[in-house]
Structure 1
Amino acid sequence: MNTLRKSILIGFTVLGMAAAHAQEAKPMAKQHDAHPTKEQMQAKMAEMYAKRQARLHDLLKLTAQQESAWASYQAAIKPAAFDGKRPEHKPFNKLSSPERLTLALEMTKKREAMLETRLKAVTTFYAQLNPAQQTLFDEHSFGGERGAMRARWQHRGHRGGWGHEGSPRHEG
């Protein structure tokens, strides 16, 4: 009788382990699905951007007078939608050194123009905020959240990696 109980107990244990293993195996299959398309990624990025902006809007608790400044600010900083057309792409290693530098300079000028537009929009909107709203804006925009997370992380005793403040290279 004892042997029968042990056999049944072992059987149930094996079945339970097999069921647990089968449940763990199902999520792994999802990880190997096809990669999302560029359009799906762009839609996801646009959705995340909209959520961040809505969260910032809610945190700021804007007055009726500030809403028009918010709308102008949003229109100025909204990322341009990708039209699907890409310029002709030459492999970077096939370009001559002057061509590489020219390309890098053109990209830098485009980035600088975008940053100047953004700076103007932020400066105009920021001037409409009261000091408490300005503090919230500073904490929750343009990397402020990441900076706050980094500060909390370091406050808990974690140190930066090589090349960061608090790392062994920057001490003493």
Structure 2
Amino acid sequence: MNVLNKLLIAGLLAGSIATPVLAADTAQPAPQEKSYHHMDPAQREAWIAKRQQELHDKLKLRSNQETAWQRFATAWKPNLHEDFPSRDAIAKMSAPERMDLELKHMKQHEIMMGQRLEALKTFYAQLTPDQKKTFDAETMPRHHHDGAEGHEK
């Protein structure tokens, strides 16, 4: 039972950090706007591209920082889980099969997060102290106190 509890906790933790750093938005979403997690893949990709461009502009990057920026931005492209089965297919699986699938995706997510972390560290090392301060402020998640999707001002 202890192993199952650890797996469930790991799953919850992985899900809680799954939102990319660049998903942090300083503006309050409009009530009709879907949250990041509920957007269709095209909307999510456009939303991330917009946030990346805003961050790029606020950082006022020098030309010698652009290569590191491009590597960083590419690493943060959304992972759309294209190989993830449909809800109907999952409903036909047994509980152990669903748990195996979840564990497989957690491991894939861990690998992706490691790659993103390396790209982040490389890019961050290229920034000036003022740019680091801006980057830290702009990428800080801002969640409502009630736990709802969205961001505080």
Where on the TM-score scale, by shorter chain, does this alignment land: which range?
A: 0.5 to 0.7
2:142 corresponds in structure 1 to 146
2:131 corresponds in structure 1 to 133
Q: Partners in 2 of 1:145 and 1:100 — Cα distance?
A: 30
Q: Partners in 2 of 1:97 and 1:112 — Cα distance?
A: 22
1:23 corresponds in structure 2 to none
What RMSD over aligned residues (CA atoms) do the two structures have, in Å?
Answer: 2.9
1:25 corresponds in structure 2 to none
Task: State the structure with bigger RCO (CA 8 A, min sep 6), 1 or 2.
Answer: 2
Q: Partners in 2 of 1:97 and 1:76 — Cα distance?
A: 33
Compared with structure 1, are the counterparts of its residues 80 and 97 closer, same or farther at alpha carbon in structure 2 (3 Å cutoff)? closer
Q: 5+ unaligned residues in a row in structure 1: which ranges? A: 1-30, 32-39, 151-159, 163-172
Structure with the largest fraction of helix: 1
Q: How does 1:44-55 map to 2 (within 5 A)?
A: 44-55=43-54
Residue aligned with 1:90, SS: helix
108, 125, 130: which one pairs with 1:110?
Answer: 108
The CA deviation at 1:64 is 1.3
Q: Which has the larger radius of gyration?
A: 1
Q: What's the TM-score, normalizing by structure 2?
A: 0.59
The CA deviation at 1:68 is 1.4
User: Residue 99 in 1 paired to residue 97 in 2?
Assistant: yes
* Contact 1:56–1:140 (8 Å) recurs in 2: yes
Q: Deviation digits for residues 40-86 of structure 1, max 9, x if unmatched?
A: 94333222211111110011011111111111211222225686x76
121, 124, 130: which one pairs with 2:122?
Answer: 124
Q: Deviation digits for residues 2-41 of structure 1, max 9, x if unmatched?
A: xxxxxxxxxxxxxxxxxxxxxxxxxxxxx9xxxxxxxx94
Q: What's the TM-score, normalizing by structure 1?
A: 0.53
Q: Partners in 2 of 1:91 and 1:82 — Cα distance?
A: 14
Paired positions, count: 109
Q: How high is the sequence identity, in percent, across the aligned residues? A: 40
